A and B are shown apart, each in its own frame.
Chain A
Amino acid sequence: MVKIDLLVNGKKHSLEVEEDMRLIDLLREKLGLTGVKEGCSEGECGACTVIMDGEVVNSCLVMAFQAHESNIITIEGLDGEGSLHPLQQAFIDAGAVQCGYCTPGMILSAKALLDKNPNPTEEEIREGISGNLCRCTGYNKIVEAINRAKGV
């Protein structure tokens, strides 16, 4: 067991975790943040994307102990009191959500992109979500949603 302290969606947590626990298990199993999805467990699909200290990471490839003293944002930490994040609203409005399994990871990758580059070109948007697979939408509406959200 290892003791770790971390900030998740603005809340402090001190936890004991097993050495072989992954960050995704910590978030889903210990903290109940099931908006973090698991599609491949090997860094291919991006469904498990979370933001760690401002950078997108695949939480299936990060060990829980590596998150010690880090600041994590999951999809659950995006909407404020009763209001959606502009990206969440844009995903709804643009029809960028189908089965929804890629959606949390997509939105977080988009957020990390917009946080660094508030006015990305279409190419930069596509580059920004290139680590996230979507099997349903064909990506166009996702790109459109991010484009809509960038000004807001």
Chain B
Amino acid sequence: MRLDVVGKNILRVDALSKVTGKALYPEDIYMENMLYGKTLRSKVPHAYIRVDTSKAERIDGVIKIFTHKDVPKNEYGVVLKDHEVFCSQKVRRIGDPIAFVVAKDLKTCHLALENIRVEYEEIEGVFDPIEAMKDDAPKVHGDSNIIYHFKIRKGDIKEGFKNSHVIVENTYKTHMVDHAFLQPESGVSFIDEEGRITVIVATQYPHYDREEIASALNMPEESVRVINANVGGAFGGREDISLQIHLALATKELNRPVKTVYSREESFIAHAKRHPMIMKYKTGADRDGKLLALEAEIIGDSGAYASWAMNVLRKSGVHASGPYEIPNVKVDSIAVYTNNPFTGAMRGFGATQVPIAYEQQMDILAEKLGLDPISIRLKNMFRKGSVTATGQVLTESVPLQECLERVVERMDFPRREEAY
């Protein structure tokens, strides 16, 4: 087989335009007759709202202020349609979109935002996912805050723990993380030469965006076009809708190009974060360090919207036992709504958080058994033919042992036996 790309250094096709400053990100596009749009966002995490735009509408240069009343189908979301394009009755997080001002320039947009009256009737919120799982917790959506519960049951953990020589039990917590891609969200919408509502945006999912815009605007997908410009970093943070529907709606109604650029602050409050997780782990091993049982409960804070919660928590669950073969496993991973910023995709998609727990457990087990951290891993790690916690038989290459051995060699990792 002739390989043209694999193993070779290939120059990026877009590198030239980027080193010369010619690469266009959506905010670099200026169109004739273009208007500017700005989003009004919730200042409180949980409240019923009443919105009065009349004063702002009278400001010279304000073209229109969009609210939920203007959206044909006021919902979207990558898996569950639990977001509203504009909140109609209640806000569920700080940063929830309430209205979209379109004006002749940015200064007028800002002035209009200050003149929209939002009456917040605050309601009790819930910010701790463990509290949120309780029956009497305030509800973010519907009548339960539990979005998803993934289970793995393999073998018999009771038996496994009974036969264990050591058992280590700990709870680990990770925090929320923002992608902080360098280019804040931006987009320009216009009507193209074939009459299609067109949105130029920096996105990870142009095809999904099109579906969501068409659905919210109640239009056939063929009448909507999404053009992906250069994307200034994303890392998962551009998987959910941000300004796409707002822009498309404005252009459809006003028949003019509209541009929106988020500030860094707005970017932070607008898009998803990495799920903070609370991971309760109980791991048992025999005298030689062979793993016998794992019981894990992983609770992921999804914030006010589900986004990819099911997919992320499923991935955490599947990866909960790490790259180790364990005969008896019980895993529960649960995604929960709270009134925190919503969480979604971010590099690793749920696989990033769990190693904090399972690797720490390995180190503690090793210490209790008087083993070094390398040998305990070598004793338990996946090899060709291993069966994972979900029952998958690994039949293809599993070069983990080779990898670890090379790392140990290059790091000159002191074996415990030698170090002490």
Contacts and interface: CB of A to CB of B under 8 A. Distances in A.
B248 to A, nearest CB: 23
B128 interface: no
Residue from A84, A88, A101, A103 whose CB has the most chain B CB atoms within 10 Å: A101
Residue from A39, A79, A91, A134 whose CB has the most chain B CB atoms within 10 Å: A39
B158 interface: no
Given A92-B15, A100-B230, A79 B264 contact: no
Contacts of B263: 41
B20 A33 contact: no
Residue from A40, A42, A99, A107 whose CB has the most chain B CB atoms within 10 Å: A99
Given A95-B9, A97-B12, A76 B20 contact: yes
Contact of B232 (A34, A35, A101): A101
A13 to B, nearest CB: 18
A75 B231 contact: no
A94 B26 CA distance: 27
B419 interface: no
A37 B261 CA distance: 12
A61 B25 CA distance: 22
Interface in B232-258: 232-235
A89 B15 CA distance: 9
A33 B22 CA distance: 9
Given A39-B182, A47-B182, A135-B235, A97 B19 contact: yes
A97 B18 contact: yes
Interface in A75-99: 75-76, 78-79, 84, 88-89, 91-93, 95, 97-99
Nearest to A33: B21
B15 A35 contact: no
A35 B20 contact: yes
B408 interface: no
Interface size class of B (residues with CB under 8 A): 20 to 34
B23 interface: yes
A62 interface: no
Contacts of A91: 15, 19
Dominant secondary structure of chain B at its interface with chain A: loop
Nearest to A39: B182
B183 interface: yes
A47 B233 CA distance: 13
Nearest to B261: A38
Nearest to B179: A135
A136 interface: yes
A22 to B, nearest CB: 12
A75 B20 CA distance: 6
Contacts of A37: 25, 182-183, 232
A100 B231 CA distance: 8
A103 B16 CA distance: 11
A135 B19 contact: no
B111 interface: no
B20 A88 contact: yes
A107 B16 CA distance: 13
B116 interface: no
B264 A40 contact: yes
A98 B25 CA distance: 14
A59 interface: no
Given A32-B30, A99-B233, A107-B19, 14 more contacts: A33-B21, A35-B21, A38-B27, A40-B264, A45-B182, A75-B19, A84-B20, A89-B19, A92-B12, A99-B182, A100-B18, A103-B18, A133-B182, A136-B233
The 9 closest A-B pairs by CB, nearest first: A35-B21, A100-B18, A101-B232, A75-B21, A34-B28, A88-B19, A101-B182, A92-B15, A99-B233
Interface of A: 28, 32-42, 45, 47, 74-76, 78-79, 84, 88-89, 91-93, 95, 97-104, 107, 133-136
13 contacts: A35-B20, A35-B21, A37-B182, A39-B232, A41-B263, A41-B264, A75-B19, A78-B20, A84-B20, A97-B12, A97-B15, A100-B23, A104-B19
